[in-house]
Structure 1
Amino acid sequence: MRVLGVLILFGFTLFLTKNFSPKIVGQYDFVRSFLLVIGSICLLGCDQSILYFRGRLKGVNGLYSLKEIYIKMVGILFSMAIILFLIVLCTNKDFINAFFSDQGVHLILLKSSGILFFSALTTLNTEVFRAMDRLYVAELFRNAIKYIPLILGAILLFYIKKEIYLVDVFLIGFVILAVITTILVFNYFSKVKTHTINEPITYKEIIVKSSPIAISGMALFLLMSFDIMFLKKYRDDPTVAFYALAMKLMTILSMVIVTVNITVSTKIAEYFSTKNNFELNKILRNSSRLIFILTLPTALLICIFSEYILQFFGKEYIVARNALLILMIGQGICSAFGSAPIYLNMTGRQNVFQIILVMAVIINFILNRFLIPVYGMGGAAFAFVASSFFWNFISAVVIYKKDKVKVYLN
């Protein structure tokens, strides 16, 4: 399913770069990055804490109680979406437009924040499918179905020569997805028989459990968004499109790392809790080697054929070659740190990981602010690599000092 998602993403990206101007593609990537950041604030970590509550509430009773928690989470999402929309609405229009040197930015941000609830609800619903053991449905929506409204809308815009409305189609797609996924969620809940409900989970408890997760999620999205925001400010929409393509190519390596980490995460938690250090070190050593072995050849191939790969998406995109090389080399180096972040999350060190991520976000912000005005895409790529190396390296050092465990390649 994850491979299918990557194939669909690159297939659609190819269609966009071949048929839409870099300016329009850049606007789409800018809005997508903005929604990632503001969406993580709106969700407040509910998309991940729903899995925590499902694990805590066992059996049929737990599944029925999950419906009550879900309804409360939807209320939290709606409240957060209204607050964030009002904040954007009250922000000075001229200031925002002047900051990004684009007279249309405030309207785009207003539209994005207006659709925020539906975007966040779609994400929450996808995780609810997972919590209800509908794994295939969850992965199908996460990796394939979520692209369908946008793909169909983009094709229609291309044929009626209205490409300028790509961002609007992208945003409207979330309304469609939110309606479909919500209907499915309540359909699945309706099949659960009513039993004595466990002690109700309060709004306060949901927020307390979800907020720490939200900090980590928001930090990761900021790491992937500051570069886009500053490129929009100091360069232009086409530059955003060129750089965003390089970032998407880098996700091929990220997919390898994420897939291996998901596979070993439960074993890390098990061996750590049972103090089985031999097996813990063994699985970490094997995972770091596997990640590095799978990542290195892919990174080298993309570096060697970078010009041809970028040219495949359009001749204009060759300008992103240096940024792509920096990103690939950096990600290849970071792959040597294996399962460092997942280890901290699986061993009860989430707070430590949050502190490291917040520090990385600060470094990323400072580097982007000073490098992008001078070096453009190259500066953005270096800022991303430097901050990624920082949190991977510090995580590995902290783990070794605390537990004498080597998560890095050895």
Structure 2
Amino acid sequence: MKKIKIEADLMEILKKGGIALFLRILGFLAGYLFVYYTVRYFGAETQGRISLSFSFLMIASLVCILGADVNFVKLFAIENNFENAKGLFLKSYPFFVGSSLLIGIILFFSSNWISVNIFKDAELTPFLEWTAPSIVLYTLMLINASVFRGIRKNTLYAFLFNGGRFIFTMVFFLVLVFAWTKDPITTAIAHTAAVAALFLISLWYLGKHLLPLSRQTTYTVTSFLKDSFPMFLSASMIVLLGWADTIILGMYEDSSVVGLYSVALKIATVVSFSLQAVDSILAPKLSHAFHADNYTLFRRLIKFSTYINAVFSITSVLGIFLFKDFILNIFGPEFIAASTAMIILSLGQLFNSVIGPVGSIFQMTGHQKVFQNILIVSFVINLILNLTLVKEYGINGVAFATAFSLIFSKIASAIYIKKLIWKAS
């Protein structure tokens, strides 16, 4: 009977992970088209500015959430804990509304100062101003989406978290460009409109799943946020590892160079598509199996997902290596200059995918503080290498810094899991 249950879980990962991967691919294609038309209409400078504004969005939303999205997944995934988790969710929601409004207002009124004094690019200002309302919408959408992930509404979660953002952005972008004006700021407006649409969709489905509303819970908001904080630090390091290169490059190079790098980075992330798609289904299953002391299922889930990631990522890397110039030339001949950076970043993503879902293993088993410490060390390495290499090596330097620190974090995590968590289970 137990074997049948295990096989059913593996098939669910394969099936629903495939759906999540499909949605992510659709989102990537839409994002690919968005970058393509941004570059074609407005040049690499605008792509650099929109990429920098995205970095502010990701970091700001992370600060507003404080790791609560990951913690909600864990709590909603626990068997017979739905009503308790729901009460906590509703009780803590005003906190996330307030924190995101505060950060959004700060960014809006400091946009010009940041653009002129840090990035030496006054034309970045309107992009950051349009990013400010996105912080509120994106933060609340992510919080809402964490509920769907926890209760295993994986297709909905995958659409909100992966596919929908750039699918909607591309739709709004085309409408604005052809029906209104061909102005570079339409890129930022389209993205904000897309995030707003996703928030409204998440709110609609949230109402369907959480009715009747009740704030009754045995959890307290304070203890929940305290428990979430290590996850926030871990998530912070992940986001900073992913965006520090773009920000530092923007401080030392023109926006056009940031645009070249952002395209190389976007293509390289294809390598880890399967990791993120499968992980959206895997995390709640790991939490359920571990807390139910079903360690046989726990191990099988990890091995199975790692195998899927390895097959997909190795195939993707080979494709990028063989067709790198062709892929980059689609955006324009000047983007071929980013081919070395793209290869370096792809190798980093290969390690990220092949080693497996270490982040979810740590967070779903209560070892998030260890993961946090590994990522802090990785971020320090990333920051030192970025600042050291950017002046002399430009985009290749920041690409190496990003890839090296990512590989370090994955290897260190894998060693710890193998020695302690794996043996203990």
Of residues 374-383 and 15-24 in structure 1, the stretch that sits farther from structure 2 once superposed is 15-24
Report what 1:326 is aligned to.
344
**Is 2:138 aligned against 1:138?**
no
Report what 1:164 is aligned to.
184
Distance (whole Å) between structure 2 residues aligned to residue 344 and residue 132 of structure 1: 20
Of residues 28-37 and 275-284 in structure 1, the stretch that sits farther from structure 2 once superposed is 275-284
SS of the residue aligned with 1:118?
helix
Q: 1:337 to 1:149 in 2, by over 3 A?
A: closer
Of residues 114-123 and 383-392 in structure 1, the stretch that sits farther from structure 2 once superposed is 114-123
Q: 1:320 to 1:152 in 2, by over 3 A?
A: same
Of residues 17-26 and 267-276 in structure 1, the stretch that sits farther from structure 2 once superposed is 267-276
Q: 1:258 to 1:372 in 2, by over 3 A?
A: same
Gaps of 5+ in 2: 1-22
Of residues 319-328 and 332-341 in structure 1, the stretch that sits farther from structure 2 once superposed is 332-341
Q: CA RMSD in A?
A: 3.2
User: Alignment partner for residue 146 of structure 2, among 106, 117, 127?
Assistant: 127
Q: 1:127 to 1:333 in 2, by over 3 A?
A: closer
Q: Deviations over 1:294-322 (max 9, x none)?
A: 32232122112100111122222211111
Q: 1:150 to 1:262 in 2, by over 3 A?
A: closer
Distance (whole Å) between structure 1 residues aligned to residue 64 and residue 404 of structure 2: 28
Name the amino acid aligned to 1:322.
Answer: T
Is contact 1:24-1:163 (8 Å) kept? no
Report what 1:154 is aligned to.
173
Report what 1:205 is aligned to.
223
Of residues 53-62 and 209-218 in structure 1, the stretch that sits farther from structure 2 once superposed is 53-62
TM-score (norm 1): 0.84
Give the Å deviation of 1:133: 4.9
Of residues 103-112 and 211-220 in structure 1, the stretch that sits farther from structure 2 once superposed is 103-112
Name the amino acid aligned to 2:136.
Answer: F
Report what 2:410 is aligned to.
392
Report what 1:112 is aligned to.
131
Report what 1:408 is aligned to.
none
Distance (whole Å) between structure 2 residues aligned to residue 404 and residue 55 of structure 1: 21
Q: 1:395 to 1:51 in 2, by over 3 A?
A: closer
Report what 1:310 is aligned to.
328
Distance (whole Å) between structure 2 residues aligned to residue 144 and residue 265 of structure 1: 19
Distance (whole Å) between structure 1 residues aligned to residue 154 and residue 181 of structure 2: 39
TM-score (norm 2): 0.82
Q: 1:168 to 1:90 in 2, by over 3 A?
A: closer
Is contact 1:35-1:112 (8 Å) kept? yes
**Is 2:190 aligned against 1:185?**
no
Of residues 360-369 and 109-118 in structure 1, the stretch that sits farther from structure 2 once superposed is 109-118
Q: 1:279 to 1:77 in 2, by over 3 A?
A: closer
Q: 1:145 to 1:282 in 2, by over 3 A?
A: closer
Q: 1:133 to 1:328 in 2, by over 3 A?
A: closer
Q: What does 1:282-361 align with in structure 2 at a 5 Å threshold?
A: 287-361=305-379
Give the Å deviation of 1:326: 1.0
User: Alignment partner for residue 92 of structure 2, among 73, 79, 101?
Assistant: 73
Gaps of 5+ in 1: 406-410
Distance (whole Å) between structure 1 residues aligned to residue 352 and residue 281 of structure 2: 19
User: Alignment partner for residue 26 of structure 1, among 18, 23, 48?
Assistant: 48
Name the amino acid aligned to 1:113.
Answer: A
Distance (whole Å) between structure 2 residues aligned to residue 260 and residue 38 of structure 1: 26
Q: 1:107 to 1:259 in 2, by over 3 A?
A: closer
Report what 2:9 is aligned to.
none
Q: Deviations over 1:56-94 (max 9, x none)?
A: 5827744xx61x433333311122123324544675954
Give the Å deviation of 1:138: 2.8
Give the Å deviation of 1:37: 0.8
Distance (whole Å) between structure 2 residues aligned to residue 49 and residue 274 of structure 1: 18
Distance (whole Å) between structure 2 residues aligned to residue 338 and residue 330 of structure 1: 13
Q: Deviations over 1:259-284 (max 9, x none)?
A: 45556656766776788878766665
User: Alignment partner for residue 97 of structure 1, among 108, 112, 116?
Assistant: 116
Name the amino acid aligned to 1:16.
Answer: T
Distance (whole Å) between structure 1 residues aligned to residue 142 and residue 121 of structure 2: 30
Of residues 111-120 and 313-322 in structure 1, the stretch that sits farther from structure 2 once superposed is 111-120
Name the amino acid aligned to 1:79.
Answer: G
Report what 2:195 is aligned to.
174
Report what 1:41 is aligned to.
63
| Identity within the alignment, % | 24
Of residues 178-187 and 318-327 in structure 1, the stretch that sits farther from structure 2 once superposed is 178-187
Of residues 275-284 and 69-78 in structure 1, the stretch that sits farther from structure 2 once superposed is 275-284
Of residues 250-259 and 384-393 in structure 1, the stretch that sits farther from structure 2 once superposed is 250-259
Of residues 347-356 and 101-110 in structure 1, the stretch that sits farther from structure 2 once superposed is 101-110
Of residues 24-33 and 44-53 in structure 1, the stretch that sits farther from structure 2 once superposed is 44-53
Report what 2:248 is aligned to.
230
Is contact 2:53-2:128 (8 Å) kept? yes
Give the Å deviation of 1:237: 1.6
